[in-house]
């Protein structure tokens, strides 16, 4: 039958999925072993010996801190590449796109992409044992897809006050104590850590289309939709990069710290 | 004697005597009760409630005094900046902020370098804050409350209300200095400004040295100054 053939072809293509899955498992096991031995890297070996002045130890309520960055040469190169892609490709396209599309339309596109990304949010809320939030995500999807015209309008929030509970597999891993691993700058996707990259891969595998359709359909479709989402997001936040650059003495460090602090705050949020 | 006064069972003695509710007695008992209540309240409330400013006072002052200046479109911008600069210097603890942002590098600096850095850092942060004047478009700020972070340290939460969008959470960390509460960190949407600069400065000092950090910061501060002058 025409329907079962793509599924049969998909199941024959299983070895590549097996490879991805085993690679993710290897990375995960490594991280679990590492987290069982130490939780946080120290700033330097000589710091532990001397007593600390005020300002060296964390002031009450302080957050963040210098982060271990063993992959720094790679991260720097990818960071510069990302900036170039943003400056020469994404921003011009976003400018033209925002000229053509009114801001409400662009907001609707953003809502659409947020809506179809419900499965990782639902699954991870369940994994972290927040059944109410998981059911809330499912209900939001149902309401927005019907009343909200295929997710273009977030009526679940504006009419019923049902807030979105963001979640991903990286947060689930962190919630259960997996060490974050070194900071990694991903090409096109931006800042991440080793744990969060594994989370991205796992969340990507939750897309049902990738199990039903052959890879030469889903990969271009995923890349295309990610590109549209990126251009749309950039058009909704035109000054974000320029703002960060204006106030940062070291832009790489600013982005790194902003990402790590945001993830720490997210972990605290899902721990409640 | 029985008559037209009501009896109060709580004052009933063994001999079934009843105390008369004469107007004078009522007045005296109410007055005593009020005095007792006031004394209890005064003892329970911290002395600083009436004597010294609280952290909430400081944050409220910063916000209530800066919002009118930000909203005032008639006064020329340089004058508004001078007013805001005065506010910042009164309520922000810049020496502490400068020291925290350098972290363990602070002990490696000579006193002259420390003074230089503190001065430059103060100017940089002030310029960064003041250059945001043009971005302000009349949003309201709601101060939510305070939480103690230990003896002499407090966190005050507030929100910038943006119509149609989610509010921006802004937290202030204050410490007590000579009876006055001063701000030593601002956290915008979970990102602490001081920690962010600490990461940046740590990277620059480790990779290129303290002098390069001063040069870069001076360049950025002058860029901000130039963009404000235009």
Quick one: CA dihedral B185, B190, B193, B199, positive or negative? positive
pLDDT at B225: 84
Which of A66, A254, A261 faces B190 most closely, judged by CB atoms? A261
Chain A to chain B, count of Cβ pairs less than 8 Å apart? 110
The nearest alpha carbon in chain A to B224 belongs to A246
CA distance B169 to chain A (A): 12
Which of A44, A246, A261 faces B192 most closely, judged by CB atoms? A261
What does the pLDDT profile of chain A (272 residues) look like in tens digits?
Answer: 445 555 555 555 556 667 877 888 888 887 777 776 654 443 433 344 444 554 455 666 666 667 888 999 999 999 999 999 999 999 999 999 999 999 999 999 999 999 999 999 999 999 999 999 999 999 999 999 999 999 999 999 889 999 999 999 999 999 999 988 899 999 999 999 999 999 999 998 888 888 888 888 888 888 899 999 999 999 998 888 888 888 999 999 999 999 999 999 999 999 88
Quick one: CA dihedral A54, A57, A62, A65, positive or negative? positive
Contact state of B103 with A43 under an 8 Å Cβ cutoff: yes
Q: Mutate which of B190, B193, B201 to disrupt the A interface (most A C-beta within 10 Å)? A: B190
Quick one: tokens of A272? 């409640």
Q: How many helices (H) and strands (E) does chain A have?
A: 14, 2
Alpha-carbon distance of B216 to B219, in angstroms, equals 5
Contact state of A261 with B202 under an 8 Å Cβ cutoff: no
State whether residue A163 sits within 8 Å of chain B by CB: no
pLDDT at B137: 74
3-state secondary structure of B172: strand
CA distance B224 to chain A (A): 8
- Taking residue B46's Cβ as centre, other Cβ atoms within 10 Å add up to 9
Query: Chain A partners of B106 at a C-beta cutoff of 8 Å?
Result: 53, 55-56
pLDDT at A64: 64
Quick one: tokens of A239? 């000054």
Give the contacts of A167 (CB within 8 A, at least 6 positions apart).
A120, A121, A124, A125, A128, A133, A270
Which of B106, B155, B203 faces A253 most closely, judged by CB atoms? B203
CA distance B81 to chain A (A): 18
pLDDT at A208: 85
State whether residue A253 sits within 8 Å of chain B by CB: yes
Query: Which residue in A183, A36, A199, A30 sits closest to A128, CA to CA?
Result: A199
Give the contacts of A182 (CB within 8 A, at least 6 positions apart).
A68, A69, A70, A71, A193, A194
The nearest alpha carbon in chain A to B127 belongs to A247
pLDDT at B49: 47
Contact state of B194 with A67 under an 8 Å Cβ cutoff: no
Contact state of A56 with B103 under an 8 Å Cβ cutoff: yes
pLDDT at A46: 38
CA distance B176 to chain A (A): 12
**Maximal CA-CA distance, chain A:** 74
Q: Mutate which of A61, A242, A251 to disrupt the B interface (most B C-beta within 10 Å)? A: A61
Query: Which residue in A255, A165, A206 sits closest to A20, CA to CA?
Result: A206
Q: Mutate which of A57, A250, A264 to disrupt the B interface (most B C-beta within 10 Å)? A: A250
Q: Mutate which of B191, B208, B213, B221 to disrupt the A interface (most A C-beta within 10 Å)? A: B191
Residues of chain B with pLDDT under 50: 1, 3-5, 7-17, 41-49, 230
Query: So what's the ipTM on this one?
Result: 0.79
State whether residue A56 sits within 8 Å of chain B by CB: yes
Q: How far apart are the first and last CA of chain A?
A: 49
Query: Chain B partners of A264 at a C-beta cutoff of 8 Å?
Result: 190
Query: Chain A partners of B197 at a C-beta cutoff of 8 Å?
Result: 249
State whether residue A67 sits within 8 Å of chain B by CB: yes
pTM for this entry: 0.78
Beta strands, E only, chain A: 183-186, 190-193
Question: Is B155 in contact with B149 (CB distance < 8 Å)?
Answer: yes
Reported as a single tens digit per residue, the pLDDT across A40-59 is: 443 433 344 444 554 455 66
């Amino acid at each position: 039958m025409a329907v079962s053939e793509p599924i049969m072809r998909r199941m024959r293509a299983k070895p590549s999925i097996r490879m991805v899955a085993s690679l993710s498992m290897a990375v995960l096991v490594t991280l679990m072993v590492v987290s069982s031995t130490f939780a946080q890297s120290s700033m330097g070996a000589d710091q532990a010996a001397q007593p600390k002045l005020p300002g060296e130890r964390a002031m009450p309520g302080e957050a963040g801190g210098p982060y271990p960055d063993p992959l720094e040469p790679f991260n720097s190169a990818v960071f510069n590449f990302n900036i170039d892609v943003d400056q020469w490709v994404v921003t011009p396209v976003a400018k033209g796109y925002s000229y053509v599309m009114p801001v409400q339309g662009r907001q609707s596109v953003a809502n659409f992409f947020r809506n179809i990304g419900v499965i990782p949010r639902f699954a991870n809320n369940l994994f972290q044992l927040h059944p109410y939030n998981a059911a809330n995500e499912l209900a939001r999807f149902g309401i927005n897809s019907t009343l909200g015209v295929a997710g273009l309008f977030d009526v679940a929030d504006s009419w019923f006050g049902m807030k979105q509970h963001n979640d991903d597999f990286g947060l689930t891993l962190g919630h259960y104590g997996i060490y974050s691993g070194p900071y990694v700058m991903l090409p096109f996707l931006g800042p991440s850590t080793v744990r969060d990259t594994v989370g991205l891969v796992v969340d990507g595998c939750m897309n049902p289309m990738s199990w039903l359709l052959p890879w030469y359909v889903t990969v271009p479709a995923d890349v295309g939709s990610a590109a549209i989402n990126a251009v749309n997001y950039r058009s909704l936040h035109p000054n974000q990069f320029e703002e960060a650059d204006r106030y940062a003495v070291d832009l790489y460090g600013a982005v790194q710290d902003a990402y790590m602090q945001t993830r720490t705050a997210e972990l605290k949020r899902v721990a409640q | 004697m029985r008559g037209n006064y009501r009896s109060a069972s709580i004052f009933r003695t063994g001999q079934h005597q009843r105390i008369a509710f004469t107007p004078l007695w009522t007045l005296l008992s109410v007055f005593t009760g009020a005095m007792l209540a006031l004394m209890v309240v005064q003892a329970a409330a911290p002395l600083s409630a009436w004597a010294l400013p609280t952290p909430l006072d400081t944050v409220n002052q910063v916000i209530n005094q800066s919002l009118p200046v930000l909203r005032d479109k008639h006064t020329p911008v340089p004058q508004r900046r001078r007013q805001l600069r005065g506010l910042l210097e009164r309520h922000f603890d810049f020496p502490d902020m400068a020291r925290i942002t350098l972290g363990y590098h602070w002990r490696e600096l000579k006193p002259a370098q420390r003074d230089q850095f503190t001065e430059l850092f103060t100017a940089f942060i002030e310029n960064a804050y003041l250059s945001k004047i043009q971005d302000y478009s009349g949003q309201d700020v709601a101060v939510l409350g305070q939480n103690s972070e230990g003896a002499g340290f407090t966190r005050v939460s507030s929100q910038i209300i943006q119509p149609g969008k989610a509010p921006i959470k802004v937290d202030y960390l204050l410490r007590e200095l000579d009876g006055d509460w001063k701000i030593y960190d601002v956290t915008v949407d979970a990102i602490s400004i001081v920690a962010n600069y600490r990461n940046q400065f740590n990277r620059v000092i480790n990779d290129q040295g303290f002098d390069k950090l001063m040069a870069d910061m001076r360049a950025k501060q002058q860029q901000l100054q130039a963009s404000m002058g235009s």
